A and B are shown apart, each in its own frame.
Chain A
């Protein structure tokens, strides 16, 4: 609905976005291979956070089991590649479809039976966990032994077959993350974005206005799951090995939600900011941890960061930083 296009891109915000993109484009050319590998982790975290944000930040439905969609995307594309030599990108499309169906089905079942809030969150954990156990016994994809992708030593990067250097993956993930940013911005300014906000703020009121709450919640889940699965596919071809216990891990689901919460739930840029801060500082903590021979500094740091945010800036760092930088969104 054009009439609702409220949040305009002011010159100041456009300039800030341009600066951010320029820095991100140049960064891998200026730093060493180790830093690039850290930046890849940052971008994975940002992208997964952005995907999760659509479901929980925009539509207000708490999912604590997004590792499920990472895993479905990763396993679908990897298995189709290993068994049939299907191009990774086609496999990732299939993975997105599988994840959208799974997410849509979980949402439809839950919301049809009026499972909401905390109980819905528990259900998302349950589905992720029993899919993990299912894959532990799924011989076709290697079960607990793992699924391995052949590593090719290429002289140059091959983005079509997803074989190449961390730098290639960096640019690929940067493109995905920027696309997610653009898509999120677009959706928020459309009818559906306002419906999601209404559902998030007061589901009963949204229903009383004639919004088809069920449909828009299921749509949010399906879209969020499909986007997550796309990142899962890239992860499969970056890691080259998949084990159910790491791909579908509960800890992965928790990591996915941490960055957007710290950055600012439901905001466009929060997941990216959260990923940069958390992963960046987390990596420093890991190094400190090794140097000082104290284990688990990173986990302590994650916990402390979450506590600090919840206590001091419950709406996240980005809304605060945005005010400081004068990058507030325009409202009519």
Chain B
């Protein structure tokens, strides 16, 4: 059974349709990449799954439970985490305070101290800088903090929106390494929305191609990466 299952999801902003009959599945333990051009509806898709936008039609199930239109704080408490585009750390809070803010949902409160220890092991740089204001971190460190903060919520499914955006290539490699490690070692299920098509498809088990709010292709990551249409449209080869 799929961990996350979307069926025929339509989303409108006023009269403009952002998602058009989107159906997709994410199985437990998978990395699923969602690729597409700017404005294809990738971020809208993430926001809709997370309850920040209400779909006009369709069903969204997480572990069998219908969540379409539920409030974000409830969805978060079911075990879906989100790392939003542009990192969005709290610049005037310390690293540690940022991490504490990651554990606000009821499901994460009891284990917050243990979760903090774990993320400090995984991100030693953050441990070194725990008293530093998040706004003073480098872009890459902020991205790591955003991911670590999301993990503080002890999610079973994490959705990452453009985690490599605006980062130096060497830092992008590091971000993708962390994603792979979270999946391979901790068994975390991940949905990766990326413009960095080659790297994300190489990493993902499966991928979906979104165009004008519609899923136009799907398949195994390596398969999509080898597809001529994908290569022409997104990889620039």
Contacts and interface: CB of A to CB of B under 8 A. Distances in A.
Interface string B110-124: 001100000000000
Interface string A206-232: 111111110000000000000000000
Contacts of B131: 331-332
22 contacts: A3-B112, A3-B113, A205-B84, A207-B73, A208-B72, A208-B76, A208-B84, A209-B76, A209-B102, A209-B105, A209-B149, A209-B150, A209-B153, A210-B73, A210-B75, A210-B76, A210-B104, A210-B105, A210-B153, A331-B97, A331-B131, A332-B131
Given A205-B84, A209-B153, A198 B100 contact: no
Interface of A: 3-4, 6, 191, 194-195, 197-198, 201-202, 204-213, 331-332
A60 to B, nearest CB: 11
Contact of A201 (B82, B93, B100, B102): B93
Residue from A191, A201, A208 with most neighbouring chain B CB atoms (10 Å) = A208
B94 A207 contact: no
A211 B92 CA distance: 18
Nearest to A4: B100
Given A202-B90, A204-B84, A212 B97 contact: no
A211 B104 contact: yes
A205 B90 contact: yes
A198 B101 contact: yes
Given A204-B88, A331-B94, A195 B52 contact: no
Contacts of A209: 76, 101-102, 104-105, 149-150, 153
A107 B83 CA distance: 28
B89 interface: yes
A96 B131 CA distance: 40
Contact of A194 (B52, B88, B100, B112): B100
Most-contacted residue by chain B among A207, A213, A331 (CB, 10 A)? A207
B50 interface: yes
Given A201-B92, A205-B90, A209-B101, 13 more contacts: A6-B97, A197-B92, A198-B101, A204-B52, A208-B50, A208-B76, A208-B82, A209-B102, A210-B76, A331-B94, A332-B97, A332-B130, A332-B131
Interface of B: 50, 52, 71-73, 75-77, 82-84, 88-94, 96-97, 100-102, 104-105, 112-113, 130-131, 149-150, 153
A206 B93 CA distance: 13
**From B71, B113, B150, B153, residue with most partner A Cβ within 10 Å:** B71
Nearest to B107: A210
Contacts of A331: 94, 97, 131
B97 A202 contact: no
Q: Which of B76, B82, B88, B89 is most buried by chain A, counting CB atoms within 10 A of its CB?
A: B88
Contacts of B84: 204-205, 208
Contacts of B97: 6, 194, 331-332
B90 A198 contact: yes
A197 B112 CA distance: 19
Contact of A208 (B71, B77, B88): B88
A29 to B, nearest CB: 41
Contacts of B73: 207, 210-213
B78 to A, nearest CB: 10
Contacts of B91: 201
Contacts of B101: 194, 198, 206, 209, 211
Which of A3, A6, A201, A202 has most chain B Cβ within 10 Å? A201
